[in-house]
Amino acid sequence: MANHVYKHIELTGSSPESIEKAIKNAISKASETVHNLRWFEVGQLRGEIVGGSVAHWQVTLKVGFTLD
């Protein structure tokens, strides 16, 4: 196993569909400009309530990537 050095950033993804979709949205968007993404860690979950139902999810996560 190679030795790695990781950098991490914090992202917040959102989705009206689900927590999983909010995570996927954040990672997908970050992967457009950040390369070598390796892991994520969920830090916070939030949601918006409209009319007594969950209308939107927000998930804040740390995303780690290896340096070139």
Q: What is the mean pLDDT of residues 17-41?
A: 97
| 44 vs 62: CA distance, rounded Å | 10
Query: What's the pLDDT band for 68 if we cut at 50, 70, 90?
Result: confident
Helix (H) or strand (E) holding 34: none
Helix (H/G/I), strand (E/B), else coil: 64: strand
CA distance 58 to 3: 34
How confident is the model over 29-53, as a mean pLDDT?
Answer: 96
3 state DSSP class of 24: helix
Task: Give the model's confidence band at 15: pLDDT under 50 very low, under 70 low, under 90 confident, else very high.
Answer: very high
Q: Is the pLDDT of residue 4 over 70?
A: yes
Of the chain, the percentage scoring pLDDT greater than 90 comes to 90
Structure token digits, residue 28? 């997908």
